[in-house]
Chains A and B, each alone.
Chain A
Amino acid sequence: MYLLCVILGLVFATFVVECVLVHVLSSWYIPNLLIILVVFFNLYRGTRYSLVAGILAGLFKDSFSAGPFGLYTFAFIIAVFFTTLMKMYIYQPGVMASRILLVFIVTIGYVTTYWIIQLMFTSLAFPSVFLYILVPEVGLTTLIAPVAFKKYRQCALRLFA
Chain B
Amino acid sequence: MAYLRFPLILPEDISNQHFLLNSRVSKYHKKTLIYGLITLSVVVLFFLPARMVSPLKFNFISWTSLPVRIISFPLLELKKVLLYHRTYAEYVKLQKDYNTLKARLIGMEEVIRENNRLEKLLKFKRSLVYSSVGANVVGRDPSNWNETVIIDKGSQDDVDVGMPAVNAQGVVGKVAEVSDRKSKVILLTDPGFSTAGLVKRSREIGLVSGTLQGLCRMRYLSANADVKVGDQVITSKLSSSFPEGLFVGEVIAVEYKKNGLSLDCIIQPAVPLSQLEEVLIIRTR
Contacts and interface: CB of A to CB of B under 8 A. Distances in A.
B214 A21 contact: no
Contact of B38 (A26, A51, A117, A137): A51
B222 interface: no
Classify chain A's interface size: 35 or more
Given A77-B42, A122-B191, A122-B192, A20 B72 contact: yes
Contacts of B39: 74, 77-78, 81
A129 B191 CA distance: 11
Contacts of B47: 68
Given A16-B71, A19-B140, A24 B79 contact: yes
A29 B46 CA distance: 26
B216 to A, nearest CB: 13
A49 interface: no
Classify chain B's interface size: 35 or more
Contacts, number: 132
A27 B57 contact: no
Contact of B72 (A24, A27, A69): A24
Interface in A103-134: 114, 117-118, 120-122, 124, 128-129, 132-133
A42 to B, nearest CB: 13
Interface in B29-60: 35, 38-39, 42-48, 50, 53, 56-58, 60
A20 B48 contact: no
Interface of A is mostly: helix
A67 interface: yes
A161 interface: no
Contacts of A18: 142
A73 B45 contact: yes
A2 interface: no
B274 A26 contact: yes
Interface string A68-84: 11111110011001000
Contacts of A67: 145-146, 192
Nearest to B48: A69
B186 A26 contact: no
Contacts of B259: none
Interface of B: 35, 38-39, 42-48, 50, 53, 56-58, 60-61, 64, 67-68, 71-72, 75-76, 79, 139-146, 148, 150, 176-177, 184, 186, 190-192, 211-214, 274-275
